[in-house]
């Protein structure tokens, strides 16, 4: 495509806000595209994909440029131009913003960068080393999968439709999708903005990765039960639980951020899920009052997010070993205190979107050891990134003994 300067400026502006000001990539793109409503669909897609790909390959691209990463605007044009040279047939236009790029050195530096596995995978050294240490030989395969663009996967909302009829409804609006082997899953054939479709406005689906769709069923929620989603966030899994329960019973969705629960309330209304009650966790008293009240408890805990880096590539430049260790402390604290909400004989699922054993099976093993005979492990599932095109995930189902 022919690159226009306003489109290129939007890319550089977004990169400046992500790396210079520390904002999340998805929020930055939302702002930048909203501020440039004059752009057509093709330009908007180019901006979004360029920003995500440059963010994904940030370290590798700077190695090809031949200098340390920076958020300086002049230098951001250089890294953008280098990305264009490596990934488009046309390369960078002959503009003054790209005039300092030495195009002759790009192929040589690109080959040199491939000799360093952390550079080639475009991750920080500490992350490459931690992955090698915890995961072993599969780590390089995981990194390759995490550097691919994530597909758009939907979950049909059983309260409104089924996946076969959802495919037909989307097709009427020009959106083609294929059925997955998941009970409610389908995948778009190409990326499109589906949030303006009638199907979305009518609550026929939610965007939810295939691995994530397999977490709520591990809780085996039954219609009429009392279920607590204790780290609900914006409620993707809460809505899945409501559908599995056929909108019968009670779901209490908790989170420390009321703004996330506000988004959940909007989504629940659209989805027709009226068994959901939201409650902000303002103090430990909220948890204490709920002791032994839940038939089922979902703990989708805060984590490193290493299993979903392809969706959030900017996260790898904000993470650190210290932050992961801090999160591990929070995970154990949640496990130990929130698990008391489960009734005797009830079930609990601990889940993360991480692929690190230190956040996953090791945490569960330590928790079971600490609690002695209180809980027993029923099932443990690990979802490798890229397998079946899904994200990396972990979930463990446990039963509280009577």
Question: Is 282 strand, coil or helix?
Answer: coil
Question: Is 30 strand, coil or helix?
Answer: helix
Say what the alpha-carbon torsion angle 362, 365, 371, 373 is, to the nearest 10 degrees. 180
- Of 353, 356, 364, 398, the active-site residue reads 353
**Rounded (to 5) percent helix, strand, coil in the chain:** 50, 15, 35
Nearest CA-CA partner of 30 in 46, 50, 12, 44: 44
Q: How many CB atoms lie within 10 A of CB 171?
A: 12
Q: Where are the beta strands (DSSP E) in 201-290?
A: 205-207, 226-229, 250-255, 276-280
Identify whether 231 is a catalytic site residue: no
Alpha-carbon distance of 201 to 211, in angstroms, equals 24
Question: Is 182 strand, coil or helix?
Answer: coil
Q: Phi first, then psi: what are they for 343, rounded to 5°?
A: -70, 155
Any idea which residues carry the catalytic annotation?
353
């Amino acid at each position: 495509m022919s690159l226009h300067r306003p489109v290129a400026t939007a890319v550089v502006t977004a990169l400046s806000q992500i790396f210079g000001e520390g904002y999340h990539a998805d929020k930055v793109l939302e702002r930048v595209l909203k501020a440039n409503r004059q752009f057509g669909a093709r330009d908007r897609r180019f901006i979004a994909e360029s920003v995500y790909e440059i963010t994904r390959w940030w370290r590798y691209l700077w190695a090809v440029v031949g200098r340390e990463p920076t958020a300086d605007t002049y230098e951001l044009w250089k890294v953008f131009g280098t990305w264009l040279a490596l990934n488009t047939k046309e390369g960078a236009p002959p503009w003054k913003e790209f005039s300092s790029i030495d195009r002759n050195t790009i192929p040589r530096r690109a080959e040199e960068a491939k000799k360093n596995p952390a550079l080639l995978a475009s991750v920080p050294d500490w992350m490459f080393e931690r992955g090698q240490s915890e995961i072993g030989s599969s780590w390089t395969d995981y990194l390759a999968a995490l550097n691919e663009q994530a597909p758009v996967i939907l979950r049909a909302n059983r309260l409104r439709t089924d996946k076969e009829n959802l495919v037909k409804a989307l097709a009427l609006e020009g959106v083609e999708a294929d059925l997955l082997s998941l009970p409610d899953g389908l995948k778009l054939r190409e990326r499109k903005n589906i949030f303006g479709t009638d199907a979305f406005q009518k609550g026929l689906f939610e965007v939810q990765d295939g691995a994530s769709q397999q977490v709520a069923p591990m809780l085996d929620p039954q219609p009429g039960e009392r279920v607590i989603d204790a780290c609900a966030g914006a409620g993707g899994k809460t809505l899945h639980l409501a559908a599995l329960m056929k909108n019968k019973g009670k779901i209490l969705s908790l989170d420390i951020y009321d703004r996330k629960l506000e988004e959940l309330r909007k989504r629940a209304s659209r989805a027709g899920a009226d068994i959901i009650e939201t409650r902000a966790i303002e103090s430990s008293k909220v948890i204490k009052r709920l002791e032994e009240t839940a038939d089922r408890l979902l703990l989708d805990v805060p984590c490193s997010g290493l299993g979903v880096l392809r969706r959030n590539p900017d996260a790898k430049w904000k993470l650190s070993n210290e932050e992961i260790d801090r999160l591990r402390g929070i995970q154990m604290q949640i496990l130990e205190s929130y698990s008391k909400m489960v009734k005797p004989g009830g079930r609990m699922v601990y889940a993360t979107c991480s692929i690190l054993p230190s956040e996953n099976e090791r945490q569960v093993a330590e928790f079971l050891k600490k609690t002695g005979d209180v809980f027993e492990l029923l099932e443990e599932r690990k979802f490798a990134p890229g397998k079946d095109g899904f994200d990396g995930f972990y979930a463990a189902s446990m039963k509280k003994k009577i």
